[in-house]
Amino acid sequence: MTAGKVERMEKVNIAIVGVTGAVGQEMLRILKERKFPVAELRPLASERSQGRSVRFNGKEILVTILNKDSFRGIQIALFSAGAVVSKEYAPIAVKSGAVVVDNTSHFRMDPDVPLVVPEVNSHKIKEHKGIIANPNCSTIQMVVALKPLHDAARIKRIIVSTYQSVSGAGAQKIQKLVDQSKEALRDFSVLAQSWKRYRSKEASHFAFNLIPQIDVFVEGGYTKEEIKMIKETQKIMGDDAIKVTATCVRVPVFCAHSESVNIETEKKLTANEARRLLSQAPGVKIIDDPTRLLYPMPINAAGEDAVFIGRIREDHTIPNGLNFWIVSDNLRKGAALNAVQIAEILIKQ
């Protein structure tokens, strides 16, 4: 096995870095569900997970503490333990002979690292030099919807507002929403108290609240999350001329991100034409019947692999505009599933 290359084989040795986290756990489930050809599974995590084990294919496997020798004999390493960890250990994994599929932000804008959504630009996988980057969860579901429309009519401009679930902030934040909701429902006066705490301490209060900040603010008043959506979309679509602006909001939903998207195209696309193109696109499921009040919702998308699209309609304020609504499970297609799909293509290639 040469470094940075997966050879054709029946089964592969695969490592999951950050296996005890929300995305790592989802990776385990998806590997099992899709019958990924695993010869050896090597679950890796930090010292905080010392003594823990994971269950895979009927076996309990002890979690190994991540170190520089963790990748010996590994062909594919799935990383989801934070950008700092990926920065240090992804090059070590590649040097050990593995191909890294990294779910963190660290390598995404590196010009030498492919940023891949299989339904959009799977051809980029073969250009890897040992590391392939998984895009941001919000970007993934959006570009799956944009790809067929861009191919047909070329998108000039995108305006996106996201409604992102707390699972995108990690398992601890999910529990925080549970606890805050229980507290507020026991005593509605707590809500007012919580608002006072929020104003005075700028704490994250998820329950019954919307927070128009995901990640830190940068120059110009945007957040890093919004800048990710702008730059990653251009890189994945292979078109820096596409103008993108984003507003990203955390909402009190446990799982699945929603997005309101407005696009302007060079060529006119009617709502029916867009609906037809999207219905034929890989990874997409259309739910769009206003007469029956059918449209995508996060409560229905959680646990599903598809990118759900609805509320497709023309924007009559411009000649070539479309509005639509996108919902997808951010832990699955927005993270774990996308990484596993990349790994599946690697072993086929």
Whether 137 is a known active-site residue: answer yes
Choosing from 106, 128, 137, 205, which is the catalytic residue?
137
Whether 257 is a known active-site residue: answer yes
Q: How many Å apart are CA 317 and CA 333, to the nearest integer?
A: 33
How many residues are listed for the chain in this entry?
Answer: 349
Choosing from 106, 128, 205, 257, which is the catalytic residue?
257
Q: Looking at the DSSP assignment, which residues form a beta bridge with residue 245? A: 159
Residue type, 224: K
If one counts every other C-beta atom within 10 angstroms of the C-beta of residue 23, the result is: 29
Question: Among the residues of the chain, which ranges form H helices?
Answer: 22-33, 83-95, 118-121, 137-153, 171-186, 189-201, 224-237, 271-279, 298-301, 337-348
Q: How many Å apart are CA 229 and CA 320, to the nearest integer?
A: 22
Tokens 């799935």 sit at which residue? 78
Q: Looking at the DSSP assignment, which residues form a beta bridge with residue 158? A: 244, 263
Which residues are annotated as catalytic? 137, 257
